[in-house]
Structure 1
Amino acid sequence: MGNALRQLGACLCDAIKQQAHEAAAGYGGGDHHAGYGASSEAGFAAFARDILHFDATGEVPEGLASFVQATRATQVIWYKKLLSAWKDSQPPPRNAAEATQLITQSLQTRRKSDLQGLLRFYGLSHPVVGPTPSNPSTQALYPTWPKGVQYEFTTLPVEGHSVADGDTITVFVDVSKDDREERAVPRSVFNAVEKRRRARENRDYKKADMLQQQIFDAGYKVFDGRGSEVLAHKYRIRLRGVDAPESSMPHGPESKAMLIKLVEGQQLRVYVYTADQYGRLVADVHTSHGFLQEQLLKRGCVWHYSQYDHRPELSEWEQEARRARVGLWHFPNPVKPWEYRKNAR
């Protein structure tokens, strides 16, 4: 079982012996919260036992659903992360305070009510956490959304091959870290994720691949990591207010290459305004280096799409690139991409 789990088992035995009169007799027997809530140390013993049980069976505690809003499939993801964190701990948690710390650090979910519900389920108190350092790639950039923004999200790190051209990117969003996303996942997708996990455990990789394709066809993808998996929603993003040269136009390949350079490996902060006729989300995008449309305009990689976007700063950034004759403005009379597309019809 490994040294970490042997330590877990030893720690668990001590805790259960000390709190035997408070702990429930056997997994699934009775209400976890009612059985363990009288003592945080009894809750710690229950948590340790549930971790061991999950490692052996892949099952989450049945009573947890009464304390959290997350689906059972999401709860499975939580316990995978908790099990992995416990195994990696040196030494593993020895008391309620250390277990609380492991839970709060492992489950970086935006739904605070679920984290609080999980802690209440085990009778553990929620720690007081200080302010988080600012990070443009993972935190909101605006105190209030700009006019017209419908919602926002943070992506997983972008892969270079996800860039279609100079103004379109395919991204993935971890559904377990976004309330809106998690609520929108179809039940059929969660079921396919669970079946795929079991197929991989049984080394039936052909079936696992078939289920991954089924998940992908529904607009999702499972990313496999060390001891964990991430279910992510796929989106195509059309950068708002700019238009890049087509691939067959002068500077088209260069514009695409620059976009790849700016977003590859980045977690993007996306502010969605609407969807276009092709199903792409029209959005403002920020990287850890700043506003993506600004970076592209100043480098002469895109035009300001003034027909649809009237923000003066975008026009100013384009003029700055024109004066410097950088990027596509190196050419004397570059063809506007929207005119190119019109003539190509």
Structure 2
Amino acid sequence: MKQIIFILSTLLLMSTAYSQQPARITRIKDGDTFVAVWKHRSYTCRLASIDAPELSQTYGYESYQALSKIVAGKKILITAHTRDLYGRVLVNAYVDGKRLDSLLIRKGYAWHYSTYSHEAMLKQCMQDAILDKAGLWHCGKDSVCPPWLFRNYNYPNKQKYCMGCN
């Protein structure tokens, strides 16, 4: 039964892939993940091209708050692509005609996830944020710990390498 539901939800997702759908965000989970409703169904979504600090990481709560503030009370447009290993729908989202991922990167609340995205515009947004010392970059490039490293570090290494500039 779970396989049938998964297949049907995947087919539904594929039918909406690459077309913008109006959506409403009902819950923010962290700086790059949220729950959205479109076509009368709720989806856990992850912004496809960014990686935001984990909630337990330095600047994680600020990233969560930034996403919450940007989308508060606004309708968004979502372009769904596929699902990740955790079953989340990978999306591009647009708020007031602007890409949500570029807003978060440019304000220093997320990294351009260059492992999975090769968009020059997002790379430039991150370079601009670093140069302006925006958000998590306020102490410089060497004081930040990317979330993909943070997730893999054990507690002593998190304490050693991921404490920010405090």
Note whether the superposition's TM-score is higher than 0.5.
Answer: yes
CA–CA separation in structure 2 for the residues paired with 1:279 and 1:163: 16
Match of 1:282 in 2: 90
Would you say the 8 A contact 1:244–1:252 is kept in 2? Answer: yes
Local SS of the residue matching 1:261 = helix
CA deviation vs aligned residue, 1:112-144 (integer Å, no higher than 9, x gap): xxxxxxxxxxxxxxxxxxxxxxxxxxxxxxxxx
The answer for unaligned runs of 5 or more in structure 1 is 1-148, 176-231
CA deviation vs aligned residue, 1:191-234 (integer Å, no higher than 9, x gap): xxxxxxxxxxxxxxxxxxxxxxxxxxxxxxxxxxxxxxxxx200
Match of 2:126 in 1: 318
Match of 1:143 in 2: none
Match of 1:155 in 2: 23
Counterpart among 157, 164, 169 of residue 29 in structure 2: 164
CA RMSD of aligned residues (A): 1.5
CA deviation vs aligned residue, 1:292-323 (integer Å, no higher than 9, x gap): 11110110000010011111111000000000
Which portions of structure 1, spanning 4 or more consecutive aligned residues, are displaced by more than 3 angstroms? 149-152
CA deviation vs aligned residue, 1:8-27 (integer Å, no higher than 9, x gap): xxxxxxxxxxxxxxxxxxxx
Match of 2:66 in 1: 258
CA–CA separation in structure 2 for the residues paired with 1:266 and 1:282: 20
Counterpart among 25, 41, 47 of residue 233 in structure 1: 41
Local SS of the residue matching 1:343 = coil
Name the structure where strand makes up a greater proportion of residues. Answer: 2
Match of 1:267 in 2: 75
The answer for unaligned runs of 5 or more in structure 2 is 1-16, 156-166
Q: How many residues align?
A: 137
CA–CA separation in structure 2 for the residues paired with 1:302 and 1:280: 18
CA–CA separation in structure 1 for the residues paired with 2:19 and 2:44: 15
Q: Residues 52-131 of structure 1 correspond to what in structure 2 (within 5 A)?
A: none
CA–CA separation in structure 1 for the residues paired with 2:70 and 2:154: 30
CA–CA separation in structure 1 for the residues paired with 2:64 and 2:153: 22
Would you say the 8 A contact 1:151–1:273 is kept in 2? Answer: no
Q: Residues 130-279 of structure 1 correspond to what in structure 2 (within 5 A)?
A: 149-156=17-24, 158-159=25-26, 162-173=27-38, 175=39, 232-279=40-87
Residue 289 (structure 1) shift: 4.9
Counterpart of 1:243, as a letter, is: D
Match of 2:150 in 1: 340
Task: Report the identity percentage.
Answer: 31
Q: TM-score, normalised by structure 2?
A: 0.78
CA deviation vs aligned residue, 1:59-116 (integer Å, no higher than 9, x gap): xxxxxxxxxxxxxxxxxxxxxxxxxxxxxxxxxxxxxxxxxxxxxxxxxxxxxxxxxx
Would you say the 8 A contact 1:296–1:302 is kept in 2? Answer: yes
Residue 344 (structure 1) shift: 3.9
Change over 3 Å in CA distance of 1:344–1:154 after alignment to 2: farther
Residue 150 (structure 1) shift: 3.9
Match of 1:128 in 2: none
Q: TM-score, normalised by structure 1?
A: 0.38
> Which one has the largest radius of gyration?
1
